[in-house]
Structure 1
Amino acid sequence: MPKINITWYKGRTYEQKQKVAKAITNSLVEIVECKPEAVEIIFQDVDKKDCARAGVMQE
């Protein structure tokens, strides 16, 4: 069962998440030949202030 974790900044809409979930699911079904029901996607929305890049906290 493919399990995908997506961590990104807060602010995406439900509709955007739905489109991403559909696109990833369709790709995995085609490439690894699994059933759509086997694909699990977890969206983790984080505040930008809780992230760092290259050792620098994001604002």
Structure 2
Amino acid sequence: MPYILVQVTDEGVTREQKARIIAGATDLMVDVLGKDPASTFVVIDEVNTDNWGHGGELVTVRRQRERSKG
């Protein structure tokens, strides 16, 4: 019974994109490990960018800096 946790920042991932992620991760378990898709669980956890760090700083700050560079 695979349990797959996908964490992404909460920056506008659409319902359709989430559906594709879930389908793709499930297909990967079927193709690689021969798992039953009916017993494969995929959870998408959307994390606020204030709660995600990279390179020693908040992703929110990094995104703001990237936008200001143009």
Q: How does 1:14-33 map to 2 (within 5 A)?
A: 14-33=15-34
Q: What residue number does 1:8 align with? A: 8
Structure 1 or 2: more helix by fraction:
2
Structure 1 or 2: more strand by fraction:
1
Runs of 4+ in 1 over 2 A off after TM superposition: none
How many residue pairs match? The answer is 59
Structure 1: runs of 5+ lacking an equivalent: none
**Amino acid in the other structure paired with 1:47:** N
Q: What residue number does 2:68 align with? A: none
TM-score by length of 1: 0.88
TM-score by length of 2: 0.76
Q: Which has the larger radius of gyration?
A: 2
The structure showing larger relative contact order (alpha-carbon pairs under 8 Å, at least 6 residues apart) is 1
